[in-house]
Amino acid sequence: MSDRVMTKADIEAAEHLQHAHVEPKDFISRYIFSIDHKYIGKQFLWAGLLFLLFGGLLAMLIRWQWAFPAQPVPVVGKSLFPQSGGAITPPAYNTLFTMHGLIMVFFAITPLMIGAFGNYTIPLLIGARDMAFPKLNMYSFWTFALSQCLVIASFFVELGSAAAGWTTYPPLSTNVGTPGNGQSLVVLALFVTGVASIMGAVNYITTVIRFRAPGMTWFRMPATVWGLWLTSILNLLFVPVLGSAGILLLFDRHFGTQFFVTGAAGGIGDPILFQHLFWIFGHPEVYILILPVWGFLIDFMSFFARKPAYWYKGSVYAMIAVSVLSAVVYGHHMFVSGMSPLLGQAFMLLTLVISVPAEILFLNWLHTMWKGSIRLTVPMLFALGTVFVFGLGGLTGIYLGTISTDLYLHDTMWVVGHFHLTMASAAFLGSFGALYFWFPKMYGRMTNETLGKVHFWFSVIGVTAVFCGQLLAGYNGQQRRLYDPFQYTYIQHLRDLNKYTSYFAFALGLGQLSFVVNFFYSIFAGKKADKNPWDVGTLEWTECESPPVYHNFDKVPIVLRGPHEYNNPDVLAKTGRDWVGQSEQLPGEEHGLDAIAAE
Within residues 59-88, the interface with ligand HEM by CB under 6 A covers 59, 62-63
Does residue 497 bind another protein (CB under 8 A)?
Answer: yes
Site map 157..186 versus another protein, x via CB under 8 A: --x----xx---xxxx---xx-x-------
Stretch near ligand HEM under the rule CB under 6 A, chosen from 94-102, 276-284, 360-368, 400-408: 94-102
Cβ(37)–Cβ(120) below 8 Å: yes
Crossing angle, helix 119-126 and helix 181-210, to 10 degrees?
A: 10
Does residue 312 bind another protein (CB under 8 A)?
Answer: yes
For the bound state, the minimum distance from the C-beta of residue 165 to ligand HEM, rounded and expressed in Å, comes to 4
User: Which of 212, 410, 420, 564: binder of ligand HEM (CB under 6 A)?
Assistant: 420
Give the H or E element holding residue 401. Answer: helix 378-401
Stretch near another protein under the rule CB under 8 A, chosen from 128-136, 246-254, 342-350, 445-453: 342-350
Cβ(512)–Cβ(458) below 8 Å: yes
Nearest to 154 by CA among 103, 218, 216: 103
**Euclidean distance between CA atoms 27 and 528, whole angstroms:** 26
Q: Residue 283 touches which of ligand HEM, Cu ion, another protein, none (CB < 5 to 8 A by kind)?
A: Cu ion
**Euclidean distance between CA atoms 534 and 24, whole angstroms:** 31
Does residue 404 bind another protein (CB under 8 A)?
Answer: yes
Stretch near Cu ion under the rule CB under 5 A, chosen from 276-284, 353-361, 368-376, 392-400: 276-284
Q: ∠400-496-389 over CA atoms, to 5°?
A: 40
Q: Is 479 exposed, middle or buried (0-12, 13-18, 19+ CB in 10 A)?
A: middle
Q: Which residues pair with 262 in a beta bridge?
A: 268
Q: Residue 164 touches which of another protein, ligand HEM, Cu ion, none (CB < 5 to 8 A by kind)?
A: another protein
Nearest to 70 by CA among 99, 92, 47: 92
For the bound state, the minimum distance from the C-beta of residue 596 to another protein, rounded and expressed in Å, comes to 31
Instruction: Considering the complex, state which of residue 502 and residue 532 has its C-beta at the smaller distance from ligand HEM.
Output: 502
Instruction: Considering the complex, state which of residue 116 and residue 369 has its C-beta at the smaller distance from ligand HEM.
Output: 116
Contacts of 324 (CB under 8 A, 6+ apart): none
User: Which of 38, 212, 283, 418: binder of Cu ion (CB under 5 A)?
Assistant: 283
Q: Residue 59 touches which of ligand HEM, another protein, Cu ion, none (CB < 5 to 8 A by kind)?
A: ligand HEM
- Contacts of another protein in 454-493 (CB under 8 A): 472, 475-477, 479-485, 487-493
Stretch near ligand HEM under the rule CB under 6 A, chosen from 101-109, 265-273, 349-357, 442-450: 101-109
For the bound state, the minimum distance from the C-beta of residue 460 to Cu ion, rounded and expressed in Å, comes to 25
Cβ(194)–Cβ(244) below 8 Å: no
For the bound state, the minimum distance from the C-beta of residue 565 to another protein, rounded and expressed in Å, comes to 9
For the bound state, the minimum distance from the C-beta of residue 330 to Cu ion, rounded and expressed in Å, comes to 6
Coil, strand or helix: which one is 517? helix
Does residue 428 bind ligand HEM (CB under 6 A)?
Answer: yes
Cβ-based neighbour number of residue 12 at 10 Å:
13
**Euclidean distance between CA atoms 481 and 94, whole angstroms:** 8
Site map 367..396 versus another protein, x via CB under 8 A: xxxxxxxxxx-------x--xx--xx--xx
Cβ(42)–Cβ(120) below 8 Å: yes
Rounded to the nearest angstrom, the gap between the alpha carbon of residue 495 and the centroid of all alpha carbons in its chain is 33
Coil, strand or helix: which one is 354? coil
**Euclidean distance between CA atoms 88 and 194, whole angstroms:** 31
**Euclidean distance between CA atoms 504 and 516, whole angstroms:** 19
For the bound state, the minimum distance from the C-beta of residue 338 to another protein, rounded and expressed in Å, comes to 4
For the bound state, the minimum distance from the C-beta of residue 67 to ligand HEM, rounded and expressed in Å, comes to 10
**Euclidean distance between CA atoms 121 and 128, whole angstroms:** 10
User: Which of 48, 69, 77, 101: binder of ligand HEM (CB under 6 A)?
Assistant: 101
Residues that bind ligand HEM (CB under 6 A): 56, 59, 62-63, 97-98, 100-101, 104-105, 109, 165-166, 416, 420, 423-424, 427-428, 466, 480-481, 505, 508
Residues that bind Cu ion (CB under 5 A): 283
